Structure 1
Amino acid sequence: MINKLPDSTPLSRVLDAVAWLCLAVSGVCMVVLVSSFGWLVYGRYVLNDTPTWVEQVALLMVVTITFLGAAVGVYQRTHLNVDLFSALLPPRGKIMLSVSIDLLMGLFGGLMAWQAYGLVMFAWNKSIPLLGVPDGLRYIPMVISGALILVFSLSRIPAALRGQHQSLAVTEETS
């Protein structure tokens, strides 16, 4: 279930599309990951010639899946949280808590993007062994994820300030 912004605004539709794109890219990376390991097993046991590039491709795919998935988890509010404290607060306190959490998550995302960009620049002139591509590619999903966490988190603040905040926990939809 997707826990979207309360209003269907142009911004929320764009963010929905970005989240969908992240999930689609993660899905493609998962297919590449599974296929490359299939090729590894086939090469090792049938061809008796182990493809050595599979480990490096797998690392790139896992990093991409993990970080894009984390950003979508922030957008959909499927990340781990404890709702007990917010349930005890009055409505104004819930708004303040929701805004504070979104600000902290945005700060975290911005710092992650900034520091990961430094890693990209630091490692760009090195090469990933056996693949021949820049080592900085490993950190690009971190930059993208951090930037998306920043945008996804900050996009919730106006709705929260209008009193349209959603529960910090994901709620079940009734059929």
Structure 2
Amino acid sequence: MAALYRRTMDALYLVCVIVGCTALVLISAVIPWAVFTRYVLNSAASWPEPMAVLLTIVLTFVGAAAAYRLNLHMNVSYFADQLPGRWRRLLDLVVQLLMGLIATFMIVWGARLVEVTWYNTIADFPFLSVGVTYLPIPVGGACLLLFIIERIFLGAPPDPLSQDHEVVPFD
């Protein structure tokens, strides 16, 4: 059962990374288009800036969950590292439980925000519900909570970069 959960979290992590990277690539394409239309065509497009904001929301909440899984987020662990092993493990459990509380908050209140704003539209994108734009909050919270559960019960996932890979030099 633990192996199945770990593989499922690996797959979820991959989806989060793909979604986050896609959002980042699209942001990198949209912003230059805005600059091009404004300064080269002298006719600024109205949609790139709100599109970049919406993509940033996706990148932030989904990408943060992926970063948390591999412990790539910003943290200060100097004092925790000075503790004896038993106290360090207890502190890590407390941190995971507090993060679980934050993830639950994101899920509950993010879902309420989505529900309340579902029938509103965005001026620049009248076909798009405001609720859809807030959907990354509860989705990112759910991913984060699943990654926290994995960390509590199965330990930290293996770091894919720490494995010994054979480096083949270019010929």
TM bracket (short chain): 0.7 to 0.9
Letter in 2 for 1:123: T
Asked if the contact 1:123–1:134 (Cα under 8 Å) also holds between the matched residues in 2, the reply is yes
Displacement over 6 Å in runs of 4+:
none
SS of the counterpart of 2:83? coil
Corresponding residue pairs, total? 160
Instruction: Spell out the pairing of 1:55-66 with structure 2 (5 A cutoff).
Output: 55-66=49-60
Equivalent residue number for residue 97 of structure 2: 103
Q: Which runs of 5+ in 1 are unaligned?
A: 1-7
1:51-105 Cα deviation digits (max 9, x unpaired): 1011111110111111112111211112222323333333332222222111111
In the alignment, structure 2 segments of 5+ residues that lack a partner are 165-171
Q: Which residue of 2 aligns with 1:153?
A: 148
Say whether the 8 Å CA contact 1:56–1:128 is kept in structure 2: no
The CA RMSD measured in Å over matched residues stands at 2.2
Q: Structure 2 length as normaliser, TM-score?
A: 0.83
User: Where does 1:112-131 land on structure 2 (aligned, <5 Å)?
Assistant: 112-131=106-125
Per mean C-alpha deviation after superposition, the further-off stretch among 98-107 and 34-43 is 34-43
Residue 106 of structure 2 aligns to which amino acid in structure 1? Answer: M
Deviation at 1:117, TM superposition (A): 0.9
TM-score, length basis structure 1:
0.81
Residues 8-53 of structure 1, C-alpha deviations (whole Å, 9 max, x = no match): 8221222122112111111111221122222222222333221101
